[in-house]
Amino acid sequence: MTSPDSAKANYEDKCSNGGNLDQFNRDKFVKLMLADQKSKLSQLKVALLNQIKQSGDEPRGEGVYIGEWNQTFHDRSGCDTNTNSYSAFVVTVTGGNANHTVVKYLVTIDDDDNAGKRTLKIRDIRPINLRNDN
């Protein structure tokens, strides 16, 4: 980690054609951000859990979940430069027998490889209001 919201990795393969953009290390990066109280992703999770508490509702399980990461941007220039973004929904799940699941945010991380030098960082966290049945 180079900051609470970014990390770097070096690979021997300077021309991976995307092979250096592995999900295992992206998942590790997300876990490290969630463990760091200064990271934007960790702060978002805490804020959403506080919203659940203040609403009087009960979190179901962890209460806040990050969905599957999907590639939402890709640009490869020749052999050694890949710029990529991956996005996932952040969801709150509350209730006991009655289940209330709401997508609250879209999180996007950049996952770029420049000749074996990989950079991961938070690009954006955007609120989403798909539906509100209060």
Q: How far apart are CA 51 and CA 59, in angstroms?
A: 10
Of 103, 67, 110, nearest in space to 85 by CA? 110
pLDDT digits (tens, 9 = 90+) for 35-59: 999 999 999 999 999 999 998 899 9
Domain range summary for the chain, segments of one domain joined by +:
6-127
Contact (Cβ atoms closer than 8 angstroms) between residue 42 and residue 29 = no
Per the rule left: phi > 0, alpha: psi between -120 and 50, beta: everything else, 63 is: left
pTM for the predicted model, two decimal places:
0.89
Contact (Cβ atoms closer than 8 angstroms) between residue 93 and residue 60 = yes
The residues pairing with 91 across neighbouring beta strands, listed in sequence order, are 65, 103
Element (H, E) at 123: strand 117-127
Q: Average model confidence (pLDDT) for the chain? A: 92
pLDDT digits (tens, 9 = 90+) for 76-107: 878 878 999 999 999 999 987 778 899 999 99
